[in-house]
Structures are given as structure tokens and as C-alpha cells.
Structure 1
Amino acid sequence: MSTTIFKVAKSYAAPGGVGRAADWRDAALCRSSAYDPEMWFPKGTDAASMADEQEAKETCRHCPVMETCRQWALETRQDHGVWGGLTERDRYNLRRRARSRSTDPAIRVQTFPSIKDAYKALTQKTGRHVLWTGGNEVKVGKARLTPNQVAWQATRRRTPVGRVFTDCETGGCVRHLNDQVVRQAREATRKATTERSAA
């Protein structure tokens, strides 16, 4: 497995070894050595990444635990990769539709005059982390923003490029974030390190 999968699923994966109870992941097609684990975690929006994403979704459609995997990804709010045949965008849209149908006032979108106001009202500093205490979306002017977008724009001097993801395994943390620029810089550093070590 790749380090990406460990990063995403680390806190949820059943421990390996003797005596471990079997669970749905043991029957997942993506666990087979016939597939490259990176296929489920495309790195960008180029043609090769999109082809990987489509191949992963197609493989999921034949997986015996697709529905269980999908439900788990939605319940644990997986932000990266293809799970149960759904991309991160698919899962975001499902959650958004569910919120718009909900009548629960706690789930309704809160409105703020500015991003800084939303960040100040809906975050709480806890040690090294800043935890989001609000819902899954806020409205600032006509824009609807995710907690990660609010936190990025409130604390950084540049507009994010692409989707904003969390770098932190602490649930609800909006301090440790990355965007496409950060991800590309990391990938370039990783490639350079690999090339130097291979030389």
C-alpha cells in the first residue's frame, strides 16, 4: 500500500496481525495486489489522473463491499480519493444535497458578513490545532464556503488554488491545510529526493 492510503485510512484501518477480526475491508477489490493503490487517490486533474479516477470508480462498481465502503467514507468524512465508487466531489455533493433537504437548524448554513467573522465565530484553538465548531458550510455574501476554505482565506495571504484539503489527522482541524500549489510543491520535492537517492 502507498503512504497516501496509510495517511487517509490510518486512524480507521483495522490492525493487522493474528487475532484481528475480519471486516468489510478484507473483501474490497482495491486491497488486491492486481490493482495499484495510487489509482484510488489521483494526484491532479490531468488526463492520466482522470483516467485513474474513472478506472477506480469502475472497479468499485464490481466490488462486493461497495455500498459498505461508500457509507463508511460518508460517515467518516473522507476528503481524499475514491471510496465506494464516489470521488471527493461526489461525496461533497451528496452531503450538500442532504444538508439542503434537512430541516435541522443545527445543519442549516450560517451566514456571516465576512470570512474573518466566520472564522472567529466558528473556530476554537486547542494546542497546536484550530478546531472547526460550525456546520459543513457557511455563507459569506453570495459565496458558500467549506470550513477549509474559510480557514485558508482567513489565515493566508493568497487565494487557494484548487480544492483545500486538511493535512491533519485530528478531526475538525482547520489549521493544517493544503491546496494544489502546496501539493504540487510537495510532489516536486518528493520526486527530486527520489531522483537524488537513486543517483
Structure 2
Amino acid sequence: MATLVTGATGFLGSHIARKLAERGDDVKLLVRKTSKTINIDDIKAERVYGDVTDIESVRKALKGCDTLYHTAGIVSFKQADYKKMEDVNVGGTNNVFTAAMEAGVKKAVYTSSVAAIGLKPGMEPADEETPFDPAGTDIQYIKSKYYAEQEALKFFEKGLPLVIVNPSIVIGAGDVYVSTSGIILWYCKRRLPGYT
């Protein structure tokens, strides 16, 4: 059986896909026709063209798969991108896990975000038990990741073998969209305040 990676052309997804292929797994990559593929051009894996917002393409991609890494998502702090973030991050997550349940996936890993975890007052550390209040933020990206994680948890409750990871900022080689690495660039160009 194979492993499907959504968001495979992205920063994190491409690293996961590469490691899976290097260890000899049969890997399938869900790729949008409009995506930059520089991160996956050297990976020996089957490409399946589709989009997480199109459930039929996700169903097609999951044929013959028993493992799923769902890393697809949009990172943006622009209010204008909220509809797109809602469609991809929330709706796409629903589509991916609906198709995973139908396909009988035996292991699913969803890459959420630390943004989906609630905040504690002051400087107290938060964890996955910290309640999240969507009304407490006006940052649409944070809301979309929270709602996407809630979608994922619904499928866990229905029996999908699911692990959710909540990374904070992910930085390194291969960030072709300059999403998270852009924060460092903004800081270096003095477009973002910081503390030393």
C-alpha cells in the first residue's frame, strides 16, 4: 500500500515526501497543476494532480493508500485571503479526511499549527488542553487552523486513526513560497518589530 502526501509541493510536505521516498515507501503526491514543483522534482513518487478543495481528486489520489500525511494549507495573515484559507484549510481538511475514512486509511497525520492551541494569560506556556477562544483573535489564519483542527478531530471521533501535530514556526531550505521564512526576512528588513 502507498502513502499519500497532500501539500507535497509545500515546505513541510516536500520534506516529509522526500524522507518517505528515501526510506523506500511507495509515495503518492497530491499536486495542484498551478503549484511550483521545485521542491519535489527530484523525489521518486507518483504525482496525482488534484486539489484538497476537490473531493473527487482526493478520492482518486487515495486509491491504494493506507497512510496519509495531510500538510496542505494556506499560511497568510492577510484578511483578504480568509475565504481562500477557509476553503483550503477548513473545507480541504474536511474533504481529505472524508476521503480517508472512505478509503479505509490505517494511519493519518494532520499538520495543524501551534496557532490552533489556546493562549494562557501572561507568559504561561499553553498546551493542547488550553481552551481556544476564536473570538479572542481577529487573525483569520489562526481561526482557520483552529477550525480545521476541529474538523480533523471529528474524524478521529468517528474512528479515523489520526495523529495531529502542532508545529510552531517551521524554517529551513525549500520554503519556495517564503511563507514562514518570510517572517525572518520581514524582521531583517525592519518591516516587523522584534525583541533581542
Shorter-chain TM-score bucket reads: 0.3 to 0.5
Higher relative contact order (CA 8 A, sep 6+): 2
Higher helix share: 1
Tell me the TM-score normalised to structure 2 length: 0.32
Higher strand share: 2
Tell me the TM-score normalised to structure 1 length: 0.32
